[in-house]
Amino acid sequence: MDKNLPGPMTPFDDLVTSPKLQIMKLLIPYAPASGRKMLAACVKIMELRETLHIFSGKKGAVRAQMLTEEENPSPIDLLNSFRPYLKPREAAALDMVINLKEMMAVMEMMQSTSSSEPGAPALDPMDLLSGMLSPEQQEMFRMYTDMFSQAESSPQKGDDIDGNRRMDEQSCNEEYRSRQTGADPDGSIENLG
């Protein structure tokens, strides 16, 4: 992303900043050094005047932006409204906070469900996570779930199956042991060289 591109204007800034003020703001860096301070102050005073005018009058523009009592946004909605005005690194941190909040909500739901209904069937984690995962992540989750469930149901390598000895144990019979281990049957080290 080009670092010189300005971020989007907030809805409130869009109300109080006219195209004339935008042009004046764009001219500040090109104004003579002695006049920049005065031009910047003039722009801010004009914005303040427009702000006071909007709130003192019966303009419907501010009311259109206000939330009604019935709308009551969630904290997640509030955080998501910040996203367009954040830098990529800040947006990633915000995403992490939102995901953490959603995971906490899922955990609370699981705890309340398991404690309130002792005979109820266990919740499927895939059902709980499906709303939070992309289709690719859902497929990967299914694949790993299947892989782990197969691993749990299949016998482990070297298990005693059908009365056969495990292959990873040492033989108890001395004649089948390797003589090249470097130790005599009495435990002394012999010279193999």
Give me the pLDDT at residue 39, please.
Answer: 93
Report in angstroms the alpha-carbon separations of 82 from 11, 65, 72, 133. Answer: 12, 15, 17, 22
Q: Is residue 30 domain-resident?
A: yes
First to last CA, the chain: 69
Q: Is residue 23 domain-resident?
A: yes
The pLDDT tens digits for 71-87 are 777 778 888 888 888 88
In this structure, of 22-31, 32-41, 98-107, the range with the lowest mean pLDDT score is 98-107
Last residue of a domain, one of 19, 41, 66: 66
The pLDDT tens digits for 85-122 are 888 898 888 888 888 888 888 878 877 776 666 665 55
Query: Is residue 133 predicted with pLDDT exceeding 80?
Result: no
Q: Is residue 192 domain-resident?
A: no
Q: Is residue 168 domain-resident?
A: no
Q: Give the pLDDT mean for 57-83.
A: 70
% of the chain at pLDDT higher than 90: 13
Query: Is residue 1 predicted with pLDDT exceeding 50?
Result: no
Residue type, 123: L
Query: Is residue 2 predicted with pLDDT exceeding 60?
Result: no
Rg of the chain over all Cα atoms, to the nearest angstrom: 35
Q: What is the mean pLDDT of the chain?
A: 73
Give me the pLDDT at residue 52, please.
Answer: 86
Q: Is residue 177 domain-resident?
A: no
Please give the residue range of the domain that contains residue 129.
122-150
Q: Is residue 171 domain-resident?
A: no
Q: Which residues pair with 183 in a beta bridge?
A: 189
Based on the structure, what is the number of domains in the chain? 2
Backbone angles phi, psi at 183, to 5 degrees: -130, 140
Q: Give the pLDDT mean for 51-60.
A: 74
Q: Is residue 16 domain-resident?
A: yes
Q: Is residue 188 domain-resident?
A: no
Quick check: pTM over 0.75? no
Query: Which is more confidently placed, 40 or 152?
Result: 40
